[in-house]
């Protein structure tokens, strides 16, 4: 059986056959679980949705089109191989977290910046000096329910989460291990109500 970690330190939630399991502390000590960072990546579903990722070959895509220097710097300097990512649908009536991805390739030249036919083309970019960066993500788990922004904002412990703070429109945002666990708990809670 293959387990894929979707949570941080402490009792670890794992996805196995699209089900969440909680490991005891003893089981956790026996696992070789690398230290991971957690992120929230926003995408407009009309541009690229979790369904598009689900249908992509190998459930993998290049997360491209980031045109904000702060987000670019996070990709370049902090996002690492194996980091876990909440996939968030933005700029839609149903805003919220829809699943978990994993970083499967670290920062590299954004191919859309080098493509003259792309709306994200950057004429100053070259392969040697790309200006804009992308990462590759692979789908780990699509949630059975969307976790709406309204629920995130009203949940204790998520007050400091970037997506819940007014004016935070950054498309790449760090998520703390505690926030990660709280959101996964919300997934189980909301899915059980279905």
DSSP 10-34: SSPEEEETTEEEEPPHHHHHTS---
DSSP code at position 45: T
Q: How far is CA 54 from the centre of its chain?
A: 14
Assess whether pLDDT exceeds 70 at residue 34.
no
Token pair belonging to 108 = 């590299």
Q: How far is CA 124 from the centre of its chain?
A: 29
Pairing mode, strands 38-43 and 84-89: parallel
Q: What's the average model confidence in pLDDT over 11-29?
A: 45
Q: Give me the chain's average pLDDT, please.
A: 87
User: What is the value of pTM for the model shown?
Assistant: 0.83
User: Percent of the chain beyond pLDDT 90?
Assistant: 78
40/168: higher pLDDT: 40
Assess whether pLDDT exceeds 60 at residue 18.
no
In DSSP notation, 140-156 reads EEEEEEEEEHHHHHTST
pLDDT reported for residue 33 = 53
Token pair belonging to 74 = 């996070």
Residue-wise pLDDT for 74-133, tens only, equals 999 999 999 999 999 999 999 999 999 999 999 999 999 999 999 999 999 998 999 999
Assess whether pLDDT exceeds 60 at residue 149.
yes
Residue that the structure tokens 């994200």 belong to: 120
Burial of 182 (0-12, 13-18, 19+ CB in 10 A): middle
Instruction: Point out which residues pair with 175 in neighbouring strands.
Output: 38
Residue that the structure tokens 């949570």 belong to: 7
Give the sign of the dihedral formed by CA 29, CA 31, CA 32, CA 33.
Answer: negative
Please report which confidence band the pLDDT of residue 13 belongs to, taking 50, 70 and 90 as the band edges: very low
What would the CATH number be for the domain defined by 35-192?
3.10.590.10
User: Percent of the chain beyond pLDDT 70?
Assistant: 82
Distances (CA, A) of 115 to 56, 61, 69, 108: 20, 17, 19, 15
Please report which confidence band the pLDDT of residue 32 belongs to, taking 50, 70 and 90 as the band edges: low
Residue spans per domain, the chain: 35-192
């Amino acid at each position: 059986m293959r387990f894929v970690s979707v949570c941080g330190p402490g009792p670890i939630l794992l996805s196995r056959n699209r089900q969440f399991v909680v490991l005891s502390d003893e089981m956790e000590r026996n696992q070789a679980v690398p230290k991971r960072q957690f992120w929230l990546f926003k995408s407009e579903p009309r541009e690229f949705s979790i369904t598009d990722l689900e249908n992509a070959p190998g459930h993998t895509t290049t997360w491209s089109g980031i045109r904000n220097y702060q987000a670019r710097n996070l990709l370049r300097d902090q996002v690492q191989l194996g980091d876990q990512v909440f996939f968030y649908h933005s700029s839609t009536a149903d805003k919220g977290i829809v699943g978990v991805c994993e970083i499967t390739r670290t920062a590299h030249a954004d191919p859309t910046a080098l493509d003259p036919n792309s709306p994200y083309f950057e004429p100053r970019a070259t392969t040697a000096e790309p200006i804009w960066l992308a990462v590759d993500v692979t789908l780990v788990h699509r949630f059975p329910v969307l976790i709406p922004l309204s629920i995130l904002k009203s949940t204790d412990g998520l007050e400091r989460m970037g997506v819940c703070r007014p004016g935070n429109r950054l498309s790449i945002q760090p998520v703390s291990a505690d926030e990660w666990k709280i959101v996964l708990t919300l997934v189980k809670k909301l899915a059980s109500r279905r």
